Structure 1
Amino acid sequence: MNDLEIRKQAKEFANFWADKGYEKGQSQVFWLTLLNKVLGVDNPEQYISFEDKVMLDHTSFIDGYISATHVLIEQKSRDRDLRKAIRQADGTLLTPFQQAKRYSADLPYSKRPRWIITCNFQEFLIYDMEKPNGEPESILLKNLPKEYYRLQFIVNSQNENIKKEMEISIKAGEIVGILYDALLKQYNEKDEQELKSLNELCVRLVFCLYAEDSGLFGEKLTFHNYLQGFQVKDTRRALIDLFKVLDTKIEDRDKYLDDELAKFPYVNGGLFANENIIIPHLTDEIIDILLHKASENFDWSEISPTIFGAVFESTLNPETRRSGGMHYTSIENIHKVIDPLFLDNLKDELEKIKEIKVEKTRKQQLEAFRNKLSTLTFLDPACGSGNFLTETYISLRRLENEALIAQTRGQTMIDLGDVIKVSIGQFYGIEINDFAVTVAKTALWISESQMMKETEEIVNQQLEFFPLKSYANIVEGNALRIDWNDVISKQKLSYIMGNPPFVGARLMNKHQKEDVLSIFGNSWKNIGNLDYVSCWYKKATDYIEDTSIRVALVSTNSICQGESVINLWKPLFKQGIHIDFAHTTFIWDSEAQQKAHVHCVIVGFSIATSFKDKIIYSLDRYQKVKNINAYLIEAENVFIENRKKPICNVNEMLFGSMPNDGGHLSSIDEKEMAEIINKYPESKICFKKIVGADEFINGKTRWCLWLKNISPNLINSIPYIKQKVSAVQELRENSSRDATKRLALTPFL
């Protein structure tokens, strides 16, 4: 089957099973049909086995097992929550996944599953046992027509790609990196203007590659064939001419324009408007990358704009590339923010409308729902490459398409005037990096194109994408220094969301400290202890006064711990905010080659009265509560003051243990220590392991010279130790603090 046929079968399968789901009576038919109709298995009865016995303390049965690909299936009824524990026959409480793992442990080693799937007819949770502690991938039945490929591993052991979009987008980023490096060599000055031109050129080229693969330029390989028609020495002029044509209306073009250029559409949108862009001479290497690696051998139409925007930005950011590259917010984590903020409510609203029995009323309500979607507005005041905005746009368009399906019931729409109501013009962003702004706009245009194609399938008609009719309102600037009302009036805004930068109070640079002062002012108590991200909470709180705007931001968990609570949250609560929902501490995922383990929280808050349940999310469970305080627990709004004296009769802790030695005694790595001990075996008693915050949190190893009660003769007999002690003495003697100078008398301590 080709892609279109598989999608059709998947759609029929999803529709048929949408309201079914009895574990004992229907699960085998469900899986046999899925394997046959959607995944193309000719004799599914021979491919999957059901009810295989496993002997625990009692006889149990595996719901489904596929030996060819080592897939174990635990099936539950439609009303079962796959993430909640269920009492077993022996009285233990196990989630479906834990139940399946228990079965797995009883199997011969050769039959142990590589994959475990738990399913309740409405959702598949896929666990990769190569990563037994990893989070499962989720596929909803209703999304199967779009995401069937994520189940291909069931029938093809070579296809372990359940994150296809992610891998495609990262591969795209790698191609852009290769192209970037080749182009960079052609620029002479490599000053700020040339580097900006290089970034802009890369964005334009990627847009052209995407446009030819997705059909926006008409025939496949239109851009490829245009470039291929020139000798390498003429390709620079060919690109300049093409970019000018893409920014010129059809009616304003030279009527004698060459056919090779005339076939390209008018794009609009400003992407090709800058005529001052510096384009260098291209080389054989660059043309080869463009024609073969980037065009012939890669399909840009399948990239995820949400992921690719961030991957693209980090690929072209030299600092990010040096530090391990490719950081981005996962789609799953974006939904931890936007789902409880607004998306869950919209989904519930649509489901209720679809259940209306009276057809006329249902259609009216569906139209009203689509109109409502078109009125919602969103601001990300630290939008980076636009992944929050892009994923939100895609989510709204999918809801709009779902409403369209319910409206049309498969019939062709005659009036196409307002077939798409949701526009990228509803999305606003502020970003300090000019290149990230361009990437964000491009990612939104790509997502607009992809969602339009989905709409075309619903209404059975072709829609015109070019010229671009809507613009993402993304502003270049420092979000902490500009008035957000100048971006969008607060009376017109619905939601604020995002992932502002994490910088600790002690790690901020001069400009960031000035930003903090500009937001909080000199009178704010303990301003020097506020993390940089606190500025977005304060500015958002000021902005949403006297509005119904709701906010959700991601932050390091430190802002809801310790002194941060009373320094930041107590004044904000006095301004009238209340916390609507929260995700307690979790590890924020990135796809960095060297992953940073950042522990984050998500705080959803507002000033306007909320009639919704307040919810605390914690790992794989949630709890409806009456109140969420600033520590993100269900309790009254109490604030614990810092105090310098203990509440009971114990010794005071006035200051922590700080090695005032410039690292000479306290920062020795294992290799250095081993070399000294090998040379001076008697020095072994001088070394001790030292554990500070960095070592404790990140599992690092550090050693120190611990010279208390060590004989001065031994210290002076080992040149390495003697030199270290002398360095500490000199450091302390040159200090401006009298207390430190006094410590120079005991440089070995």
Structure 2
Amino acid sequence: MAKSSTQTFYGTNNRKNQTHKTRRQVVEEFVDEWVDKDNNGIIKEDANRQPFIDDLLRRVCGIEQPTQYIQYEKDVQVKADGEVTTRRIDGYIPSTKVMWEMKGSNKKDLTKPIVQSGGDMLTPYEQAKRYANFLPQNEQPRWIVISNFVEIDIHDMNKPLADPKVIMLKDLATNYKALDFMVDTNQQQIIDEKQLSVDAGNLVAKIYDELSKAYSLHANIDDPKIQSSLNMLIVRLVFLLYADDTGILGQENMFQNFLERREPRDIRPALITLFETLDKDPDKGERDEFLDQEYLQFKYVNGGMFSNENVIIPQFTQELKDLIVNEAGKGFNWSSISPTIFGAVFESTLNSKLRRSGGIHYTSIENIHKVIDPLFLDDLRAEFDKIQNMVNVNQRVSAAVEFQDKIAKLKFFDPACGSGNFLTETYLSLRKLENECLKIIVGNSGVINLGEQNLTEVKVKIQNFYGIEINDFAVAVARTAMWIAESQMWDESQNIIYSNEDFLPLDSN
């Protein structure tokens, strides 16, 4: 199975859209642009501080959506001479607790005091420190960054007596790693997943519209059978696109190549045969041995994904083929999509009337954790933290094995699960805990073959997650989301333990 894509500091490491520039090259471009601005005249603070910080976060630190990552003009109530006034912090990053204070490039010496609005003489750092002192305790900055577009002064608040680290902008290309403290990789991953899901939602909506047009050429699009077929066909197509980008069907881009080789008029019968093939087990002799090898090379999927033979497939148009092959296939990487947000992607294709009548809505990952963390995850994490801190190695390994067995026996039920967001995020959270257990069990010996040590096996199964939902399309989405979550976590587990076991076929549940 292909490893899931990872975030690099200079952009997404996307196999389909890889940048050919190193991080240093991108930083050099950033430096050249902003140094040139300074040489052409004074860079004014008010007009340029946000564009400068945005650009630095994006190109130097790899934050692809900086406006979602940093708060600008954050209000703080400051008391001076008995009066309370509102001041604004130029920039504040909540996830890494970094405060920015910007000055114009005419302020050549950042250590010199400047007259404040109240008449006080304070250096830019003293000004920022005053603001910081009036923030709530949980928002106190870990770092204070002062800049005048010419230099960047980094004050580490854990070392209050130390001099700041000073980086001249012209030298940033050799010092860019000094700014990595501003990056919260977990927060960035959430931002990336949100953006990826928005992009995926737009693609699903386009496919939905093109499929609707294709159906309407020969059928009534409002027919319940057609609507059900349309929804199920979209789920299947996106599952195959995901499988293409992870290689779980045998190799990458199998489905994309399968469609690309065909004229639009030949795709409908080809898909009918392919779906039937994907649902037949070759080990049980269910497949037609005289079928073309092009079909037989696809692995058996199982799990009910392709078992419904009543799904009506329309005649494909050139526009529909191009959309799936080029834009949704070659132009997008589905392997990194968040399975928790998967439901929202598909629910966006449902019309507003059905959304209202079915009570379908999307709950964010952050809000899901506001429910599941205090219910059980906080306690489980606290228990695991104690295990991690055990000094005796044998005791730590034994406790990790017991803890893994404990979480593997837990069962979860959502009586109105929709497309499975709560179930999927709970599964992912438990599997991440389990992977941490496996790291303790494996220890310093590195990757261990499952056949060599029975202790090192994945025990948290999607069979322990149950849901009830009245909408059949949402059920199909929920099942698929859980399979994608299982695939992604299995991929991560194989970085800790080794198994020659294939992800497919899926389990029927």
TM-score interval w.r.t. the shorter chain? 0.5 to 0.7
Tell me the distance in 1 between the aligned counterparts of 2:339 and 2:158.
30
Counterpart residue number, 1:165: 193
Query: Secondary structure of the equivalent of 1:196?
Result: helix
Corresponding residue for residue 95 of structure 1? 136
Greater RCO, CA 8 A, separation 6+: 2
1:414 to 449, 460, 463: 449
- Name whichever of 262-271 and 312-321 sits farther off: 312-321
Q: Which structure is larger by alpha-carbon Rg, 1 or 2? A: 1
Which residue in the other structure is 2:436 paired with?
402
- How far the C-alpha of 1:111 sits from its partner, in A, is 9.3
The reply on whether 1:69 has 2:84 as its aligned counterpart is no
Q: Indicate the residue corresponding to 2:410 in structure 1.
A: 376
Distance 1:300 1:462, change over 3 A: farther
1:231 aligned to 2:263?
Answer: yes
Q: CA deviation at 1:371?
A: 0.8
Deviations, residues 424-468 of structure 1 (Å, cap 9, x unaligned): 111111111111111111111111101110001111445411011
Partner amino acid, structure 1, of 2:449: I
**Aligned 1:337-416 pairs, distance under 5 A:** 337-410=371-444, 411-416=446-451
Is the contact made by 2:448 and 2:496 (CA closer than 8 Å) also made in structure 1? no
Report the Cα distance in structure 1 between the residues aligned to 2:157 and 2:143, rounded to whole angstroms.
Answer: 17
Contact 2:245 2:333 in 1 (8 A): yes
- Please list the CA deviations of residues 506-554 of structure 1 after superposition, one character each: whole Å capped at 9, or x if unmatched: xxxxxxxxxxxxxxxxxxxxxxxxxxxxxxxxxxxxxxxxxxxxxxxxx
Corresponding letter in the other structure for 1:189: N
Q: Deviations over 1:118-163 (max 9, x none)?
A: 9989xxxxxxxxxxxxxxxxxxx9xx9xx74966xxxxxxxxx961
Instruction: Kindly report which structure 2 residues correspond to 1:438-457, keeping only aligned pairs within 5 A, or say none.
Output: 438-457=476-495
Identity percentage of aligned residues: 44
Amino acid at match of 2:506: L
**SS state at 2:366 partner:** helix
In structure 2, what is the Cα distance between the partners aligned to 1:408 and 1:282? 51
- Cα distance in 2 for partners of 1:308, 1:225 equals 25
Amino acid at match of 1:465: F
Answer yes or no: is the 8 Å Cα contact 1:74–1:118 preserved in 2. Answer: no
What whole-Å deviation, never above 9, does each CA across 1:248-287 have from its counterpart, x for those lacking one?
0012212222111111111110010011111111111111
- Residue matched to 2:497: 459
- Distance between the aligned counterparts of 1:6 and 1:203, measured in 2? 25
C-alpha spacing 1:442/1:91, structure 2 compared with 1 (3 Å): closer
C-alpha separation in 1, matches of 2:211 and 2:287: 30
Q: Which has the higher helix share?
A: 2
Letter in 1 for 2:267: T
RMSD value, Cα = 4.4
Distance, in Å, in 1 between the alignment partners of 2:390 and 2:196 is 40
> Is the 2:142–2:157 Cα contact (8 Å) retained in structure 1?
no
Quote the Cα distance in structure 1 between the aligned partners of 2:388 and 2:143. 40
Structure 2 stretches of 5 or more lacking a match? 10-21, 32-51, 58-69, 71-89, 100-128, 160-179
Distance in 1 between residues matched to 2:93 and 2:463, nearest whole Å: 43
Q: Is the 8 A contact 1:424 1:470 kept in 2?
A: no
* Paired residue total: 379
- TM (norm. structure 2) is 0.65
TM-score (norm 1): 0.45
Code of the residue aligned with 2:414 in structure 1: it is D
Give deviations 1:79-133, integer Å, cap 9, x for gaps: x9x9xxxxx88995423786669978x987x7999xx999989xxxxxxxxxxxx
Moved more, 245-254 or 409-418: 409-418
- Equivalent-residue separation in structure 2 for 1:117 and 1:255 (angstroms): 70
- Structure 1 residue corresponding to 2:464, chosen from 410, 426, 445: 426
Structure 1 pair 90–317 and aligned structure 2 pair: CA distance change class (3 A): closer
Report deviation, 1:185. Answer: 1.7
1:69 & 1:241 partners in 2: Cα distance? 52
Query: Could you list the runs of 5+ residues in structure 1 that have no partner in the other structure?
Result: 10-37, 48-64, 83-87, 122-140, 152-160, 472-749
Structure 2 residue 221 is matched with structure 1 residue 193: no
- Match of residue 293, structure 2, among 256, 259, 277: 259
Specify the SS of the correspondent of 1:384. coil
Task: Tell me by how many angstroms 1:343 deviates.
Answer: 0.5
| Alignment check: 8 A CA contact 2:132 2:140 kept | no
Query: How far apart are the structure 1 equivalents of 2:423 and 2:158?
Result: 31
1:435 alignment partner AA: F
| Shift in Å, 1:220 | 1.6
What whole-Å deviation, never above 9, does each CA across 1:381-419 have from its counterpart, x for those lacking one? 111110000000000000000111111125222335661
SS for the counterpart of 2:468 is: strand
SS in 2 for 1:282: coil
Give the 3 Å change call, closer, same or farther, for CA 352–227 of structure 1 in structure 2.
same
Alignment of 1:267-346 (within 5 A): 267-319=301-353, 327-346=361-380
1:178 aligns with 2:191: no
Q: Is the 8 A contact 1:180 1:316 kept in 2?
A: no
Contact kept, 8 Å, 1:380 with 1:430, in 2: the verdict is: yes
Residue pairs, 1:141-152, within 5 angstroms: 148=185
How far, CA to CA, are the matches of 1:350 and 1:293 in structure 2? 44
**Residue equivalent to 2:173:** none
Contact 2:431 2:460 in 1 (8 A): yes
